Structure 1
Amino acid sequence: MNDKPFAGRVTAAALFLAAAAALAACGSAPPSSQDFATSGVSQMSIRANRAEGIPVRFGDTKPHAWGARSPASYPVHGLDAARYQGRIDFREARQAGISFAWLKATEGGDMVDPAFAENAAGARRAGVPVGAYHFYYFCRPAHEQAAWFIENVPKVRGDLPPILDMEWNHLSPTCTLRPPAAEVRASIREFSRIVARHYGTAPLIYTTPDFYERNDLGSLRGVEFWLRSVKAHPNERYPNERWSFWQYSGTGLVPGVGGPVDLNAFGGSRQAWQVWLSQRSQG
Structure 2
Amino acid sequence: MWIKAVLTTGVSALALAGCGGDSGPRTGQMMAPAHLSASNYRAFGVPAHFGDTDPHEWEGLTPAHYPVHGIDAARYQGHINWPEANAAGVNFAWLKATEGGDWVDPGFQANAQAARAAGVPVGGYHFYYFCRTPEEQANWYIRNVPRVAGDLPPVLDIEWNHQSRTCQRTPDPATVQAEMRRFLEIVTQHYGARPVIYTTPDFYEENALVSLNGYEFWLRSVAAHPAERYPGEQWSFWQYTGTGVVPGVGGTVDINTFAGSPDAWMNWLATRRL
Task: Settle same-fold status: TM greater than 0.5.
Answer: yes
Query: 1:195-234 maps to which residues of 2 (within 5 A)?
Result: 195-234=187-226
CA shift digits 1:206-252 (9 cap, x unpaired): 00000000000001110110000000000110001010000000000
Letter in 2 for 1:3: L
TM-superposed CA distance for 1:47, in Å, is 1.5
Shift of 1:171: 1.5
TM-score by length of 2: 0.92
Q: Which residue of 1 aligns with 2:14?
A: 3
Per the alignment, residue 156 of structure 2 pairs with 164
* Counterpart position of 2:28: 31
Supply the distance in 2 between the matched residues of 1:153 and 1:159 (Cα, whole angstroms): 11
Instruction: Kindly provide the amino acid, as one letter, of the partner of residue 129 in structure 1.
Output: P
Deviation at 1:31, TM superposition (A): 2.1
2:71–2:256 contact (8 Å) kept in structure 1: yes
In structure 2, give the amino acid aligned to 1:29. R
Question: Residue in 2 aligned with 1:62?
Answer: 54
Q: Do the aligned residues in 1 keep the contact of 2:67 with 2:262 (CA within 8 Å)? A: yes
Aligned to 2:4: none
Classify the secondary structure of the residue corresponding to 2:186: helix
Give ranges in structure 1 of 5+ residues lacking alignment: 6-19
1:102 pairs with 2:94: yes
Match of 1:237 in 2: 229
Matched residue, 1:268? 260
Contact 1:90/1:126 (<8 A) preserved: yes
Say whether the 8 Å CA contact 1:196–1:202 is kept in structure 2: yes
CA-CA distance at 1:170 after TM superposition: 1.5
Which one-letter code corresponds to 1:36 in the other structure?
M
**1:30 Cα offset (Å):** 2.6
Q: For each residue in 1:37-57, what CA deviation from the matched residue of structure 2 results, as whole angstroms up to 9, or x when unmatched?
A: 456x24xx3222110001011
Report the 3-state secondary structure (helix = DSSP H, G, I; strand = E; otherwise coil) of the residue aligned with 2:140: helix
Q: Any gaps of 5 or more consecutive residues in structure 2?
A: 1-11
CA distance in 1, matches of 2:66, 2:216: 18
TM-score by length of 1: 0.89
Contact 2:200 2:220 in 1 (8 A): yes
RMSD: 1.7
Q: Distance between the aligned counterparts of 1:2 and 1:274, measured in 2? A: 33
Q: Secondary structure at the match of 1:36?
A: coil
Query: Would you say how many aligned residue pairs link Structure 1 and Structure 2?
Result: 261
CA deviation vs aligned residue, 1:24-80 (integer Å, no higher than 9, x gap): 654363322xx43456x24xx322211000101101000011122000000000000
Q: Following the alignment from structure 2 to structure 1, what is the Cα–Cα distance between the partners of residues 91 and 248?
A: 13
Distance 1:37 1:239 in 2: 39
